[in-house]
Amino acid sequence: MSVARLRPDWLTDPQVWRTEVLAGLVVALALIPEAISFSIIAGVDPAIGLFASFTMAVTIAIVGGRRAMISAATGAVALVIAPLNREHGLGHLIAAVILAGVIQVIMGALGVAKLMRFIPRSVMVGFVNALAVLIFMTQVSELRNVPWAVYPLLAAGLLLMVVPPKVTTVIPAPLVSIVALTAVTVAAGIAVPTVGDKGELPSSLPTPGLPDVPFTPDTLMTIAPYAFAMALVGLMESLMTARLVDDITDTRSDKTRESIGQGIANIVTGFFGGMGGCAMIGQTMINVKVSGARTRLSTFLAGAFLMVLCIVFGPVVSDIPMAALVAVMVMVCFATFDWHSIAPATLRRMPVGEIAVMVITVVCVVATHNLAVGVVVGSVTAMVIFARRVAQHADVTAVTDPDGTTVVYRVTGALFFASANELTGRFAYATDPDRVVIDLSAAHVWDASSVAVLDVIETKYAQRGKTVEISGLNDPSAALHGRLSGELAGS
């Protein structure tokens, strides 16, 4: 393979370079107020969240498995670790971040990413829609008890992101909106909430170090539950976001590498004193869907620009009106929400169960403000509905030989715990002839419950002096039946 083919696109294509650089700048601007807000949720200094966003983005750009996805300090992680910081202090929080990263590396190496295939599409749609609702709800709080000038600024910001793209897309519309509104408010001296009102920006780069905690079993026992919860929530949100970006870009990502990469990024973040994090759906949508970024460069620059903006251009960044960033995030909400999923024509065609799963996922996420809860509850609900649906397809029909000496029961469908338990009542034990054949050529035996039920049926016939022959088992079913039959009497 030639050296030229090994070079990334942004090294050889000026247009890609421009897109990636500008996308990274826009994301960095959007990250600042978010990171500060999440720091407040976690109960730490704003610099802790900004350092986390810097180290997470830069590290995941190198070791992550999904190009152009943004990882930084997030609200979900902040909610998980806030009680630990409140009760035990910052040192324990940092230690928990490092341990969470180690757990994520282990889980990634064990193949936890493969579990993503068990998340149904209806849950994925619910996840996306709930995320859009949550992002919108967080922006609403920025519009309460504010000067009246915020509202026309917000309207102008939205207009600037709708109209310019119709003329040219050379400069990302969010950047146009942010620069224009900042210039107007500063030049006219309009007093509105700004980024600087969220908290003081850091004036130097983070330095590495060990967490200030005693390295004892007691410390490990204290931080382990929080670290495990953070690892799970972080991986789930990151893998779901990676899958969403896969769909948007029509490209595949390495979920195992992403899982391990998230762990490495959290370990690095912990050693640099950050609060940890995971993939950020809102900023990822700004990067991928709004700005059109597609490479690791935009992710790396988002983190690098974040520190440059804070350290070098802190006074300028502090003057950015929050209305401009709210306008950006509102547009992200509309771009993220799957409007097709709630269209009347779609709802009329969709099975009721699929709609229910989507609604349950959205409700759980919005009610708990925890995406992981919604995904788990939605997935479990989908599995229950699927099990009930499949169980209804299992059927039994009986045909008695003309001479009356044999009856053949033909079983069709999937036999597992939900369907097999109904089988025992489908046989006429008392009135059947002495020879009974159970034909399973149109069925599949999936679990021990099905084998146990077949044993019960044989036992009921044997108690009446009748013989049972089970025929037609496919190879996997025959192997399972042969291994477990007669061994489950005590279960």
Residue 191 has pLDDT above 50, yes or no: yes
Q: Is beta strand 435-445 parallel, antiparallel or unpaired with respect to 467-471? A: parallel
Q: Are 194 and 320 in contact (CB under 8 A)?
A: yes
Q: Report pLDDT digits (tens) over 130-147.
A: 878 887 887 888 888 889
Determine which of 46-55, 80-89, 380-389 has the lowest per-residue pLDDT on average: 380-389
- Of 3-12, 170-179, 246-255, least confident by mean pLDDT is 3-12
* Structure-block tokens of residue 31: 């990250």
pLDDT at 489 over 70: no
Q: Provide the pLDDT for residue 177.
A: 86
Residue 443 dihedral angles phi and psi, to the nearest 5°: -130, 170
Q: Can you tell me whether residue 168 is helix, strand or coil?
A: coil
Residue 3, pLDDT score: 46
Q: pLDDT band for 461, please (50, 70, 90 cuts).
A: very high
The HSE-up count of residue 487 (CA atoms within 13 Å, CB side) is 7
Question: What token pair was written down for 434?
Answer: 């002495």
Q: What per-residue confidence (pLDDT) applies to 335?
A: 78
Give me the helix-helix angle, 121-140 and 371-391, nearest 10°: 150
| Euclidean distance between CA atoms 448 and 45, whole angstroms | 54
- Separation between Cα atoms, residue 56 and residue 29, nearest integer Å: 16
Q: Are 384 and 357 contacting, i.e. CB atoms less than 8 angstroms apart?
A: no
Minimum mean pLDDT range among 104-108, 122-126, 468-472: 122-126
| CA-atom Rg of the chain in angstroms | 29
Residues 6+ apart with CB under 8 A from 157: 177, 181, 323, 324, 326, 327, 328
Condensed to tens digits (0 to 9), the pLDDT of residues 262-303 reads 999 999 999 999 999 999 988 898 899 888 899 999 999 999
Average pLDDT, the chain: 87
Sign of the alpha-carbon torsion through 483, 484, 487, 491 = positive
CB burial of residue 402 (10 Å; 0-12, 13-18, 19+)? exposed
Which of 23-27, 127-131, 166-170 is predicted with the least confidence, judged by mean pLDDT? 166-170
